[in-house]
Amino acid sequence: MTEGEYVRCGVGVSEAGDPEEALEEAMDWGLESVDSVFCVFSPTANDPDEVRRELRRAVRSRVPVGHRFQMFGVSSSGEIATDGYHEGSVVVMAFEFTRHVATGLSIREGLSEDPERTGRAGLTEAVRSTEASPLIALSGLVRARDHMDLARASPVRVILMPDGLCCLENPDATVEMLRGVIREVGGPLPVILGGLTGDDMRLERCYAFDENRVYSDALVTWVWFTSVKCGHAIHHGFEPTGHRFRVTKVEGTTILELDGQPALEAYADAVGVDPEDVTTEVLFTYPFGIQLPTPHGEYVLRTSVEADPERGAITALNKIPEGVTLEVMEPGDLEASFREAAKSAIRAAGNPDEIAGVIVFNCVARHEIVSTDKAVKLLRRELGDDVPIIGFNCYGEIGSTSSGALAHLNQTVSVFVIGNELLGQ
C-alpha cells in the first residue's frame, strides 16, 4: 500500500458460485496481499463446504507461504455487492491491513443450547485469536489532532453474525447472546453490530465457515482493534401512526390481546383492513414499534409474521412481554432511510475523506418493500460509486440507536463504514 493508506478493500462477485472468480475480482481493486477474507453466499445455489474449500485454495495461492490470514463466510438470503443485489451467488471482500488494524475471529457452535455462554466464549476466543498486536493497532491514536474524534469514536468493534434460523426458532437467543457478550466485556461497551445469517428464506439451515470447516447453529464473532476511522449506524424509515396498544395477553411470540381486545381485530382496525385481509405483506408494511426511553425517543421495530383469524392473534418474530406498549408503524421515506444510514455511519466514522470499504446488513423483509438493488444504488449516492461494498439480506440485525441503546432489530438496515485515515486526522 502507498504511504497514507491504512486499509485496502476489494469486492468480487461470481454469479456462477466460483469463489476463485470472486476473489480474483476483489484483488483487482489493487490489493497486493490478503490479510482477511469475508464471503457471503447463497446456500441454495452453492454447497457451503465446496465454497469453503475453493476459497481457501484460491486465497492460499495468492499469499506467501507462512502468511497468516483470516477467512470466513456466512450464508445469506440475498447477496449485496458494489454493483447491486445478487441471488444464488458468491460475494467476496478481501482486506489488506497495515499495522493500524488488528482483527480476531471466532466461530462457535452451540448457540441454540446456550446462547449466553456462546456469546461470552465467542468474544473471548475472537480477542485471543488476534494475530497482530491490538496495542500497535491502536498506536495511531497518539497522533490524533482532533480530540473530538477520539471522544466520538471507539477503537474496538465487535461484528456478530449468529445463525439466523436458530434465532428465529428461539426468539430469546439473540438477546441472550448479546447479554453474554456484554457480560464478558464487563465494562464500557465497544461498538457492537451485525446481522443474522440467512438461507434464501427456505428456513431449513444456515451456515458459517472458516478455513477449517463448515458450522451450523453457530455464532461468528469478528473483533476489530483499529485506530482507523470507522463508523456504524442503523435506520429503518418507519413512522408512528398514533395507534398505540398495551399488550394484555401473550403466549410466547403470539400476541393474543391488545388493550383487552383480540390482537388481530385491534391491529386490523388500526391499519384499515378486515382481519381476514391481514397478510404477510400487510404485517411487513405495518410493523409494531417500541419506543425506547432514550434522549431521542427512537422506535425499534418488531416484525409480525403471521395472523391467525381463528384465535384473533398475531405472531411476532420476537417475544413481546405483557404490559409493553406497541405502536403500529407505517412506512415513511424508506428509500431515504438507506441514505440516512450511510450518512450517519460516515459521520460516526469522523467524516473520512476516503472510504476503504463498507459492510451492509439489510433485513430481508425490507426487500419486500424496497428492492435491495435499489437500496444499493441509494447507498452509493452517499458512499460513492467506487467504494467496495459487501453485505447480505439477513433474518434480523444487531446495532445501536443514535442514543447508544444496543438492540436486536427488525426491518432495519445496518451500515459499517471503514475509512482510510486515522482517527483525529
Question: Is-contact 409 301, C-beta < 8 A?
Answer: yes
Position 187 confidence tier, pLDDT thresholds 50, 70, 90? confident
Question: Is-contact 258 248, C-beta < 8 A?
Answer: yes
Number of domains composing the chain: 2
pLDDT score of 140 more than 80? no
- Residue 106 lies in domain: 7-235+336-422
119, 188: one domain: yes
170, 318: one domain: no
Average pLDDT over residues 403-421: 93
Position 189 confidence tier, pLDDT thresholds 50, 70, 90? confident
76, 152: one domain: yes
Average pLDDT over residues 334-338: 96
Provide the percentage of residues in the chain whose pLDDT is more than 70.
98
- The residue from 297, 331, 365 where one domain ends is 331
> What residues does 69 pair with on adjacent strands?
none
DSSP secondary structure string, 36-84?
EEEEEE-TTTS-HHHHHHHHHHHHHTTS-TT---EEEEEE-SSEEETTE
Q: Residue 268: which CATH number?
A: 2.40.30
185, 304: one domain: no
- Angle formed at CA 242 by CA 239 and CA 244, multiple of 5 degrees: 110
- The residue from 277, 309, 331 where one domain ends is 331
Residue 117 lies in a domain: yes
256, 137: one domain: no
247, 372: one domain: no
The three three-digit cell numbers of residue 237, written as one number: 424509515
Q: 322, 325, 283: which is closest to 304 by C-alpha?
A: 283
Position 182 confidence tier, pLDDT thresholds 50, 70, 90? very high
67, 157: one domain: yes
pLDDT of the residue at 371: 94
What are the E-state strand segments in 227-286?
A: 228-235, 238-251, 254-258, 261-262
Residue 405 lies in a domain: yes
pLDDT of the residue at 331: 95
144, 131: one domain: yes
Residue 259 lies in a domain: yes
Q: Could you read off the pLDDT of 356-371 as tens digits, one per residue?
A: 999 999 999 999 899 9
Residue 172 lies in a domain: yes
Question: Is-contact 73 5, C-beta < 8 A?
Answer: no
Residue 147's Cβ-count burial label (10 Å; 0-12, 13-18, 19+) is exposed
150, 286: one domain: no
pLDDT score of 254 more than 70? yes
Residue 1 lies in a domain: no
Global pTM?
0.95
- The residue from 331, 366, 385 where one domain ends is 331
pLDDT of the residue at 217: 96
Instruction: State which H helix or E strand residue 348 sits in.
Output: helix 334-348
Residue 157 lies in a domain: yes
124, 254: one domain: no
230, 243: one domain: no
Residue 2 lies in a domain: no
Residue 320 lies in a domain: yes
Q: How far is CA 158 from CA 122, 221, 245, 334, in A?
A: 11, 7, 35, 27
161, 201: one domain: yes
Q: Could you read off the pLDDT of 37-56 as tens digits, one per residue?
A: 999 999 999 999 999 999 99
pLDDT score of 152 more than 80? no
